[in-house]
Amino acid sequence: MALRGAWLAAGLALAAGAAQANNIRVANVTLKHTDKKSGTVAVQFNLSWENSWRDAWVETNTGYGDAAVSNWDAAWVFIKWRNAGTNWNHARLAAAGHTAPDGVAIDLGGNGGATNVGAFIHRAANGSGALNLSGVQLRWNYAAAGLALTNVIDISVHAIEMVYIPQGPFWLGSGAAPATPGESGSFTEGAWTSGATIPFRVASEAALTISNAAGCLWGTSASGNNTIGPAGVLSNAFPKGYKAFYCMKYEVTQGQYTEFLNRLSASQAAARFIGNTGTYRQTIGTNAAGVYTNGAPDYSLHFMSYADGAAYADWAGLRPMTELEFEKACRGPKAPVANEMAWGDATVRYITSIAGTDGSGTETALPTNANYNYQVPLGPVRAGIYATANSTRAKAGAGYYGVMELSSIGYEPAVTVGNATGRAFEGTHGDGILDAGGNADALSWPAANGTGAGRRGGAWDTSIWANNIYTSSRTMASQTYAARWYMNGARAVRTAP
């Protein structure tokens, strides 16, 4: 929920706010240094989050030579505003004039569509631990929004934890033979005919031919929902995972989605409210004043449709991830392991109980090496529940670069290569604005009914041996999911500047 207080800067009056997400905080929002000539003003705030990092190393186990890796986490920060008492709008940032403390970088996210809808804030040098930043400033072009210094406005600053996935080649498919238990419908090199699959190397963002011929991308099933679809081409514009991108560190949480609902018009919010309050740990509801609230902001959010997740991504200035990007986030540059999960091995360590106060954000998983929840508890858990300050990748249930819960908690929406609608995706980013019905309206995205999008990864009500949890499994990759379902979550990405 936003904290509000009055402030006056060079005649521009506003109510300033702070927003919260999982392990990340924005506080003390004010306006500074109004520039009447350029029509800009600095939105100043404090920003902090736990377990921040930046690191560099050489990965030797790639199956394709050594790979230099540089990786970090970041906050994606964006600003909403409104004339007092009216609907919220998305702020456009100025091209320059942003400031951060020493050792911290600010990268505008102005590529690939909507211009300067937010910024990535991250460490500029290697290091790790809590990051506490004071006096961060993003310069807002208020004049471009048609505002004058006499307007009375509300400001709301939002931050989402992201992970930088560096540019570089990677593998699709693990080289396993289709089996039960085991991955199903995985990507393979087009020379494959039967038996163990052949991992496919993505070595650029150039167009890819989809065909059962050597050197082409193909799949291991010729029928049903596991198929890669007919022969064809993935264009240069389709995000293939080679180019650097940022991925949300966690699935959308109930706290984040509550903020989202409270920044929409009443009709938009009603369309995007997922209902099912009190069922399977879904805590979002409304109070007597019609404001959306929740009882467990750190829980991952389920009961989502594709349209819900796409709307959140558009509103935040992000975009859906593709199937190929999903596997890159899981596996990184490493050589594939047959039937591996996102944490890099083929072993599941599942929760038997939860310790801590329900809904407090401090719950821990038992046993202490758990990295997956199968019906314990009956619903999603706290985002990041498996990770500790000293946990390994397998213990944390993390993808190679530090993206959490890719194989667990909720099914991940992903743009499919299994049909023409998905293949037409060009990686356009959201512009922060939804249509009047509360739907995403970015160009080339899968339709609101889910055509062009499928699901990857596992979910909390899936048997630990269900095929979906394997990194390369494409059991539901081409399944349209228009309806809300209790195992569907959401996560979004953005191409790196």
Whether the CA torsion 142, 147, 149, 153 is positive or negative: it is negative
Q: State how far the Cα of 404 lies from the Cα of 300, in Å rounded to an integer.
A: 11
Cα–Cα distance, 187 to 229 (Å, whole number): 11
Q: What is the pLDDT of residue 201?
A: 98
**pLDDT for the residue numbered 481:** 83
Domains of the chain: 5-160 (no CATH), 166-497 (3.90.1580)
CA-to-CA distance for 345 and 360, rounded, in angstroms?
A: 31
The pLDDT value given to residue 361: 75
Residues of the chain with pLDDT under 70: 1-22, 110-114, 221-227, 360, 464-465
pLDDT, position 465: 61
pTM exceeds 0.75, yes or no: yes
pLDDT value at position 341?
Answer: 96
Q: How many helices (H) and strands (E) does the chain have?
A: 6, 25
Look at residue 149 in the predicted model and tell me its pLDDT: 83
Tens-digit pLDDT profile for residues 145-163: 999 888 889 999 999 999 9
Integer Cα distance of 5 and 103 in angstroms: 30
| The pLDDT value given to residue 454 | 94
Mark 139-158 as b/e (b = at least 16 C-beta within 10 Å).
Answer: bbbbbebebeeebebbbbbb
